[in-house]
Amino acid sequence: MSRNDDIQRMAELIKQLDYHSHKYYVENNPDISDFEFDALLRELQALEERYPEAADPNSPTRRVGSDLTTEFESVEHRYPMQSLSNTYSSEELGEWIERITREIGGEVEFVCELKFDGTAISLCYEGGTLSRAVTRGDGRRGDDVTNNVRTIGSVPMRLRGDDYPALFEIRGEIIMPYASFDRLNREREAAGEPLLANPRNAAAGTLKQQSSQVVAHRGLDCTLYHLAGDELPYATHYDNLMAARRWGFKISDNIRICRTRAEIEAFIAYWDTERKSLPYATDGVVIKVNSYAHQRQLGSTAKAPRWAVAYKFQAEKALTRLLSVDFQVGRTGAITPVANLDPVLLAGTTVKRASLHNAEQIALLDIRLGDMVYVEKGGEIIPKITGVELSERPSNSVPFEYITHCPECGSELIRYEGEAKHYCPNVSSCPPQIIGRIEHFVRRKAMDIEGLGGETIELLWQNGLIHDISDIYHLDPVRLAALPRLGEKSAANILEGVRASLNVPFERVLFALGIRFVGETTAKYLAAHFRTLDAIAAATKEQLSEAEEVGAKIADAIVEYFASEDNRRIVESLREAGLRFESEDKQLTSNALEGKNVVISGKFEGLSRDDMKALVEEHGGRNLAAVSANVDFIVAGDNMGPAKRQKAEKLGIKILNYEEFMTLVAEGEKVVEPKRPKPATEEPKPKQETTPIQGTLF
Ligand code: IVH
């Protein structure tokens, strides 16, 4: 076969594979077997390997993904991606319909569609081929996720027919059908990984996976519902959607043109029940004005079009029997009651367990064993019990008695003031607390130690190799390798992961310590504010509360953490091991604000408060959340609260307006030497002289 023949064959194979992908993923009606499909795909793959220069970037072989890490480039949307205004009631919907009809001044045609619960995507087609796929992002800019989207079978890489515009965008939802979602969570459970909360999070998370090969295996789907472009062929939304279906896109079958409020309400009522039998999640109905001329007439607000509205369904409920209650002990000792239920189908999945939150909640709802209870699915993975069907209560039922002792170690439970949960106080020897803390410590977002999953940690703990997080850095390689089910390779892996974790930045180390209430974000703020672990450990409650996002509750928890001798010993051991206990010095733009504590208050035109805070830090200052005697000055934008202003005046704190603040930092920039690359040797940095402007303003 000549090269020409081969290249011709490649084009033929692409055509056939495109056709069969459409049959399979869009029409759900394949006419060849998976085996035959794979044979065609492999033939094309082999040819592309032979003639890489002739391979099409939109080849069906791209659907299997690659294991190259993708960096997502932030790109601007050609047309901004708006969101929708919501309504939850039939009255509001009626008002909306009336308003639209009044403004248009005559008959209006509406299109009713399902509201898919996934993550929005904008696909750009140029010359009939997929050129770009971008996430919604902030509506103006999103992430370019084209390589990942190519792996989704129902997204056409090449369009059919010849009446599509040369350039247009089509928008829709990337969804994870329940079947894929359940399979994924089963796999994650088996691997000891945390479960994904719902198909929406799973779809969004998958789309941002760095390896498109992983995306290809996750079973995503894509349904389209909106076109944008300057040369769309028809004058109505509906006709363009139907054209898009002919071009090969997956367009929902459940779209209706409605002309009256009654027709719209009937569509909603029908789908409120019927959606339960759909294989994917929906959370409402979207009602859109059909005619583009009418849409233009109605226009948009800054956030959403006036010509569309989303009617949201009530969360789905199911009624089932409460069989028993388990009590879980978390890493902080918090006790969580979990209900075991008679299995029941809810929003596409079978529910066997539900959260009961705490003793108060159980008492408030008077939930008793044997009751028929209502379960609802919110955004969380575990559904919650929201009420009891009293008419079905067994006659011999008795009020629920909450436990008084830890189910794991037998210690008497305690309550903290203002907290609804019970806690097991046996921090140092209650097994699930110890193991939970270690599991938290090695998590990806914390120290990210590979090879140490839940089971391995338990194994290490049971064999006496670790008692607390610091032991991870003193593991004996020989004893480790000798553990059952481990072996030398896994042991070496773990040790390598442990070594690598020494480079984890301070803010994540702080998060990893597992101080109560100190989550990822709080840890970041604390690290930025105090710079070192020693400064945090030495800070008083008042000083701690000065850091952004740190309130009395968190401050108390931090003080309590460092008051414990056990914790101080662990911290010292971690320090010896070489963990980072200090923030890396950021390259400052100037040190105009060195040593200054600043409060940003009110609104600023063109800059968000976070931008303003970043400016303070870039110039060497610290952001404080509240006005106190420690504040050097306040930058006041529009609408600064009167209480704050009064307090500042009382304390004699200077208030700068935006211009004064910008002059201050701009002057600072001038006196700082231009940035130079860091010298190879670690020279101590010369301390900057106080800038003249500081002398004038303070
Ligand atoms: S139309 C300019 N139609 O819901 C209007 N959106 O809560 C563009 N969504 O951002 C959106 N199903 O991600 C439209 N049939 C549907 C939809 C839908 C789901 C999503 C979309 C939107 C969000 C707003």
Domain ranges in the chain with CATH number 3.30.470.30: 74-312
Domain ranges in the chain with CATH number 2.40.50.140: 317-392
Which residue would you say has higher pLDDT here, 170 or 678?
Answer: 170
pLDDT digits (tens, 9 = 90+) for 216-256: 889 999 999 999 999 999 999 999 999 999 999 999 999 99
Q: Are 548 and 441 in contact (CB under 8 A)?
A: no
Q: Are 327 and 402 in contact (CB under 8 A)?
A: no
At 611 the pLDDT is: 84
Per-residue pLDDT, averaged over 108-129, amounts to 96
At 69 the pLDDT is: 56
At 671 the pLDDT is: 56
Atom of ligand 1 nearest to the CA of 120: 13
Q: Which CATH superfamily is domain 74-312 in?
A: DNA ligase/mRNA capping enzyme (3.30.470.30)
Instruction: Spell out the long-range contacts of 583-588 with Cβ–Cβ below 8 A and sequence spacing 24 or more.
Output: 583/505, 583/506, 583/507, 583/527, 583/528, 583/531, 583/532, 584/505, 584/506, 586/617, 586/618, 587/675, 588/618, 588/619, 588/620, 588/672
Per-residue pLDDT, averaged over 401-417, amounts to 94
Domain ranges in the chain with CATH number 1.10.150.20: 427-580
> How would you class 385 by CB atoms within 10 Å of its CB: exposed for 0-12, middle for 13-18, buried for 19 or more?
buried
The interaxial angle of helices 431-442 and 454-462, nearest 10 deg, is 130
pLDDT for 696 beyond 70: no
Phi, psi of 37 (to 5 degrees): -60, -45
Q: Which CATH superfamily is domain 317-392 in?
A: Nucleic acid-binding proteins (2.40.50.140)
pLDDT interval class at 299 (50, 70, 90): very high
Distance CA 433, CA 425 (A): 10
Residue whose pair of structure tokens reads 């890396």 in the numeric block: 584
Q: Which residues line ligand 1 (CB under 6 A)?
A: 82-84, 113, 115-116, 120, 173, 225-226, 286, 305, 308, 310
**Lowest-confidence pick of 11-15, 170-174, 252-256, 475-479:** 475-479
Strand partners, 173: 120, 223
pLDDT for 673 beyond 70: no
Q: What are the residues whose beta carbons fall under 8 Å from the beta carbon of 552, sequence distance 6 or more?
A: 541, 545
3-state secondary structure (DSSP) of residue 405: strand
Q: Are 121 and 155 in contact (CB under 8 A)?
A: no
Give percent above pLDDT 90 in the chain.
59
CA of 225 to the centre of ligand 1 (A): 8
pLDDT for 676 beyond 70: no
**What does the mean pLDDT of the chain come to?**
88
**Lowest-confidence pick of 40-49, 331-340, 467-476, 544-553:** 544-553
Distance CA 433, CA 333 (A): 6
Distance set, CA 324 to CA 199, 340, 342, 367, 400 (Å): 28, 5, 10, 11, 11
Number of helical H runs and strand E runs in the chain:
25, 22
Q: Are 99 and 108 in contact (CB under 8 A)?
A: no
CATH dotted code for 597-666:
3.40.50.10190
pLDDT for 679 beyond 60: no
At 338 the pLDDT is: 93
Residue whose pair of structure tokens reads 């209900």 in the numeric block: 339
Distance CA 689, CA 592 (A): 10
By C-alpha distance, which of 531, 527, 495, 494 is closest to 508? Answer: 527
Residue 488 identity: E
Domain ranges in the chain with CATH number 3.40.50.10190: 597-666
| Structure tokens given for 430 | 């209650």
Rounded to two decimals, the pTM is 0.57
Q: Which CATH superfamily is domain 3-64 in?
A: Helix hairpin bin (1.10.287.610)
pLDDT for 380 beyond 80: no
Task: Indicate which residue's Cα is closest to atom 10 of ligand 1.
Answer: 83
Active-site annotation holds for 115: yes
pLDDT for 64 beyond 90: no
Phi, psi of 257 (to 5 degrees): -85, 130
pLDDT digits (tens, 9 = 90+) for 488-530: 888 999 999 999 999 899 999 999 999 988 988 899 999 988 9
Q: Which of 84, 301, 307 to mutate to test the pocket of ligand 1 (most atoms within 8 A of CB)?
A: 84
- Kindly write down the DSSP assignment for every residue of 189-224, as one continuous string: HHTTPPPPS-HHHHHHHHHT-S-HHHHHHS--EEEE
3-state secondary structure (DSSP) of residue 317: strand
CA of 79 to the centre of ligand 1 (A): 15
Distance set, CA 550 to CA 27, 480, 529, 547, 554 (Å): 53, 40, 11, 6, 6
pLDDT for 685 beyond 60: no
pLDDT for 369 beyond 60: yes
pLDDT for 690 beyond 60: no
Distance CA 214, CA 550 (A): 38
Phi, psi of 617 (to 5 degrees): -65, -40
At 28 the pLDDT is: 79
Question: Among residues 15, 23, 115, 377, which one is catalytic?
Answer: 115
Atom of ligand 1 nearest to the CA of 84: 24
CA of 117 to the centre of ligand 1 (A): 9
CA of 662 to the centre of ligand 1 (A): 40
CATH fold of 427-580 reads DNA polymerase; domain 1 (1.10.150)
pLDDT digits (tens, 9 = 90+) for 76-89: 999 999 889 889 88
Give percent above pLDDT 70 in the chain.
94
CA of 84 to the centre of ligand 1 (A): 6
pLDDT for 284 beyond 70: yes
Domain ranges in the chain with CATH number 1.10.287.610: 3-64
Distance set, CA 683 to CA 219, 511, 556, 678, 687 (Å): 54, 31, 39, 9, 12
At 81 the pLDDT is: 92
**E strand or H helix at 122:** strand 119-126
